[in-house]
Structure 1
Amino acid sequence: MTAPARILVTGATGAVGSAVLRALDAAGHRAYGVSRRGGPGARQFAWRIGRQEPPRELRGPWTAAVHCAADTRWGLPVERAEEANVAPLRALLSLIGPETHLVHLSSSYVTGLEGSVASDAPDAYRNSYEWSKAAAERLLHTERDSVDIVRFPIVMGARADGRLDRYSGFFWLPASLCSGAVPALVAHEKGLMDMVSTDDVAEHVARLVADGPPAGRRLSVLGRGDRAQRVDEVFDTVLDALNSWRSEHGVPPLDPLPYVTPDQWNRFYLPFAEEYLDRTQLLRVTAFRAYQGYLSVTEPFEVTERVADTTRVLYQSIRGWADAHGTSARRIPRPWSA
């Protein structure tokens, strides 16, 4: 395929979008980025997509568009989740037209609790983020005859050094371990935590763009599948990375936390917590409850693109988080008490 004259990347300052933008530039494409506040460089623009008209520079034909923009907060009301993750897609579809090769970035968790994006019922999903990403995929099936949909699980940093332009989502974990925000790991120790590097996503997107638009709706699922790391392996790697960093910076090591199954936690420990913990501790415990579903996945994703092992990527990414958040990484956990 001849290099596209213009490629638009939404969410271009996010962890994934920034990696996609760099990969497209490296492949020789002329990529333009948009985000809420804009970014560095002459080809990055501010656009609150779905809420504002696009800047003049973004009008005109686009050969390809990669939709990375997303609000990954899980606790939004459904109406706000729709505004955050469905309305922007509608606005993008209006801008690019049907002739543009669209690559839409979704989530491996988009199939929710029923294994499908078909349901419009919020209770078919773990949270409003999953619901909104499923709604976006349904919109594409309605509006587009040709589209690439790319699903991927938890995102770590670059394979070379674990660096991310923005640490969010999963990185509640090292922050919580360092601060003592949770008293136990509510998880299935042998559950699966699938991960990819930003490189994996960006390189796959660049290949799709180079191949040109598909004849119909094409789904890619990136990940390790049945070779994903187990939950206990993930937590061991995170703890090893944090303690390695803390040792180098003269900070005492963190102790491993005990595992509690979600059933044990919700039946026995949570009622105790609600009765005896102080308000701050209880808020932390309540917030942590949202992660239980992701720490209890026992069935692997059926991947179409199996990525290389991510154990080293996870280790490097946690150290990268610590370098970028030194104050948090140096914290000494406060003991829990009733």
Structure 2
Amino acid sequence: MTPPARVLVTGATGAVGSAVVRALDAAGHETHGVSRRGGRGARQHAWRIGQQEQPPGLRGPWSAVVHCAGDTRWNLPAERAEAANVGPLRALLAATGADTHFVHLSSSYVTGLRGGTASEAPEDYRNSYEWSKAATERLVHAERDSADIVRFPIVMGARADGFLDRYSGFFWLPSSMCSGAVPALVAEEKGVMDMVSTDDVADHVVRLLGGGPPAGRRLTVLGRGDRAQRVDATFDTVRDALNSWRTAHGVPPLDRLPYVAPEQWNRFYLPFAEEHLDRGQLTRITALRAYQGYLSVTEPFDVTDRVADTAPVLHRSIRLWAETHEASARRIPRPWGT
């Protein structure tokens, strides 16, 4: 696709979508972004896809559509997860010409507990988010003879400085470590924690569009694969980044938290601890249970496109989180039970 080409990016104000917009703009394309509330600039539009009619200014033809939008909440009821992720994709496909290069951004975790997306049973996935994202991949296969599907794992900030337009998801970890919200890291210490930078995803999308539509449905999986950091190394990187910032700002460093295997925690520690926890601590423990499955992945993803080392990206991203969330980063962990 030779620039300037007319490209529509959904989820354009999110962490990934905003990076994709910047990369496409830098490549010389005429990029239009949509999100639920819209964004700044003449080419940023508000459109609740699947709930509202397509605004006149967003009607085709489009050279390409990059679908970044998605609701990543893991605790939605199945019907709400489907409405949030499958419904908008169905509406977008219906509004997009068959000759448009369609790029659908997915998740490396979409293969759930069985290693594939074929199952429609919610119990074959860790949560409703994975289940609904698997459904979106099946929908792309059913509705398009030609399309790109791009999977990637946890996303960190820009490689240069760790910048993210939106901090969410993984950033419960530095916040919890600083506040003392969790007494231990419930994880498989030797589990795999794969990550990419927003740059990795955005640059990959630009390359895909530059090569034109694929002959069929093309799947690419970004990540470090068998070179990804282990969970223990990832947590050490997060703590090192926080402590380097805390030391520079005169705040006591954080101690290394103990590891507890999820099965051991859920069967022995948690039932005993629940008798002694206050309501706030119980709320945080319940909320963090959703992450246990992702901290217990022991087999690396089979990647098609291996990205460069992301440990420095993680360090920079956590440092920048601390800079932009100073009140949280300065907190002194409160011991549990006191």
The answer, yes or no, to whether TM exceeds 0.5 is: yes
Alignment of 1:220-239 (within 5 A): 220-239=220-239
AA aligned opposite 1:306: R
Q: Partner residue of 1:293? A: 293
Determine the C-alpha separation between the residues in 2 that align with 1:2 and 1:199: 21
CA displacement, residues 8-60 of structure 1 (integer Å, 9 cap, x when unaligned): 00000000000000000111111100011111111110111111112110012
Determine what percentage of the aligned residue pairs are the same residue. 79
Q: Partner residue of 1:262? A: 262
Alignment of 1:5-16 (within 5 A): 5-16=5-16
SS in 2 for 1:73: coil
Determine the C-alpha separation between the residues in 1 that align with 2:299 and 2:249: 39
Q: Partner residue of 2:3? A: 3
Counting matched residue pairs gives 338
Q: Partner residue of 1:186? A: 186
The structural deviation recorded for 1:245 is 0.7
Q: Partner residue of 1:315? A: 315
The structural deviation recorded for 1:210 is 0.7
CA displacement, residues 295-326 of structure 1 (integer Å, 9 cap, x when unaligned): 11110100000000001000000011111111
AA aligned opposite 1:253: P
Where does structure 1 differ by over 4 angstroms across 4 or more consecutive aligned residues? none
AA aligned opposite 1:200: D
TM-score normalized with structure 1 length: 0.98
The structural deviation recorded for 1:267 is 1.2
Q: Partner residue of 2:87? A: 87
Determine the C-alpha separation between the residues in 2 that align with 1:169 and 1:54: 30
Q: Partner residue of 1:140? A: 140
Determine the C-alpha separation between the residues in 2 that align with 1:4 and 1:301: 35
SS in 1 for 2:8: strand
Q: Partner residue of 1:153? A: 153
Retained in 2: the 8 A contact 1:4–1:64?
no
Determine the C-alpha separation between the residues in 1 that align with 2:71 and 2:148: 20
Retained in 1: the 8 A contact 2:4–2:28?
no
The structural deviation recorded for 1:4 is 5.0
193-202 or 91-100: which moved more?
91-100
AA aligned opposite 1:254: L
The structural deviation recorded for 1:276 is 2.4
CA displacement, residues 282-301 of structure 1 (integer Å, 9 cap, x when unaligned): 11111111111111111010
106-115 or 53-62: which moved more?
53-62
SS in 2 for 1:295: coil
The structural deviation recorded for 1:109 is 0.1
The structural deviation recorded for 1:327 is 1.0
Determine the C-alpha separation between the residues in 2 that align with 1:4 and 1:29: 4
Retained in 2: the 8 A contact 1:200–1:307?
yes
AA aligned opposite 2:30: R
CA displacement, residues 70-103 of structure 1 (integer Å, 9 cap, x when unaligned): 1111000011101111111011111112111000
Q: Partner residue of 2:62? A: 62
Task: Tell me whether 1:71 sits opposite 2:50 in the alignment.
Answer: no
Structure 2 gaps, min length 5? none
Q: Partner residue of 1:170? A: 170
Structure 1 gaps, min length 5? none
SS in 2 for 1:81: helix
Retained in 2: the 8 A contact 1:4–1:63?
no
SS in 2 for 1:289: helix
Determine the C-alpha separation between the residues in 1 that align with 2:132 and 2:7: 25
Retained in 1: the 8 A contact 2:11–2:34?
yes
Q: Partner residue of 2:121? A: 121
SS in 1 for 2:292: helix
Q: Partner residue of 1:281? A: 281
